[in-house]
C-alpha cells in the first residue's frame, strides 16, 4: 500500500518546514500502509516522509530517494509501471541509479523535467518531489486518482499526506 507525508515551504526560507518529531509523527500515523520500511528526510525547504510496503527491490528501495547530488528528492505511494524504460533513458543521459526501485526515477525525472515529470510516468501513484536548489516542489497523482493524496496550504507551507490524519498530525491543520 505505502504512504507519503511531508511539507514544502513556499516562502523560500532554508529551514525544513516541519520539526523532525512532527514529520515522524505524521509518518507514523500511516505505519500500517508501509510496515516494511520508514524513511524521512529534512532538507532546505522541505520535509519528506515515506512508509513502504516493499515489493520492488526489497533491499534497495528505501525512500525518500535523492539524485546523485542529494539536492533533488522524491517519494511515492504506488507503482510506476514504466520505470525500467525510464531508468534506461536516464542512465543513457548520465544519471546514476543505484537500485532497481521504481521510486528512484522520480528525483532524476524532476531534475530533468520539473513539474512535467508526470508526463513520463505510467502507473498508479502519488508522488512528492523537491528540488532544494530551485526551491521548487511538486505533488502529483496518477491520472485516474487511484492513490490518495491530500494537501493544504497554511502560512506559506504546503503540508501533504496519503491520509487526512497526516495533515492533522502536523499540528498545522485544525480538526
Question: Percent of the chain, pLDDT > 70?
Answer: 94
**Separation CA 167–CA 21 (nearest Å):** 14
Q: Any alpha helices (H) in the chain, and if so which ranges? A: 20-28, 83-92, 105-113, 164-169
Question: Model confidence at 35, in pLDDT bands (50, 70, 90)?
Answer: confident
**126 domain-assigned:** yes
Q: Are 90 and 107 in contact (CB under 8 A)?
A: no
Q: For residue 35, what is the DSSP state?
A: B
> Which three-class secondary structure state does DSSP give residue 37?
strand
Q: What are phi and psi of 146, to 5 degrees?
A: -65, -45
| pLDDT at 89 (0 to 100) | 97
**Separation CA 21–CA 18 (nearest Å):** 8
- The CATH number of residue 76's host domain is 3.60.20.10
Domain range for residue 61?
A: 3-169
Question: Percent of the chain, pLDDT > 90?
Answer: 83
Number of independent structural domains in the chain: 1
**175 domain-assigned:** no
**99 domain-assigned:** yes
Q: Which residues are catalytic?
A: 2
**145 domain-assigned:** yes
> Which three-class secondary structure state does DSSP give residue 40?
strand
pTM of this structure? 0.93
Mean pLDDT of 42-51: 96
Question: Model confidence at 54, in pLDDT bands (50, 70, 90)?
Answer: low
Q: Are 126 and 50 in contact (CB under 8 A)?
A: no
Contacts of 112 (CB under 8 A, 6+ apart): 90, 93
Q: Are 172 and 26 in contact (CB under 8 A)?
A: no
**174 domain-assigned:** no
Amino acid at each position: 500500500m505505502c504512504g507519503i507525508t511531508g511539507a514544502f515551504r513556499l516562502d523560500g526560507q532554508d529551514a525544513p518546514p516541519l520539526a523532525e518529531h512532527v514529520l515522524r509523527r505524521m509518518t507514523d500515523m500511516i505505519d500500517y500502509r508501509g510496515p516494511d520500511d520508514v524513511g524521512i528526510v529534512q532538507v532546505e525547504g522541505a520535509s519528506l516522509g515515506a512508509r513502504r510496503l516493499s515489493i520492488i527491490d526489497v533491499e534497495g528501495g528505501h525512500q525518500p530517494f535523492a539524485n546523485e547530488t542529494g539536492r533533488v528528492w522524491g517519494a511515492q505511494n504506488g507503482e510506476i509501471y514504466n520505470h525500467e524504460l525510464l531508468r534506461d533513458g536516464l542512465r543513457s543521459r548520465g544519471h546514476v541509479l543505484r537500485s532497481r526501485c521504481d521510486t528512484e526515477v522520480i528525483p532524476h525525472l524532476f531534475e530533468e523535467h520539473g513539474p512535467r515529470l508526470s508526463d513520463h510516468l505510467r502507473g498508479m501513484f502519488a508522488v512528492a518531489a523537491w528540488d532544494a536548489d530551485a526551491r521548487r516542489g511538486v505533488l502529483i497523482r496518477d491520472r485516474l486518482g487511484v492513490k490518495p493524496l491530500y494537501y493544504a496550504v497554511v502560512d506559506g507551507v504546503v503540508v501533504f499526506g496519503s491520509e487526512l490524519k497526516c495533515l492533522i498530525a502536523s499540528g498545522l491543520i485544525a480538526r
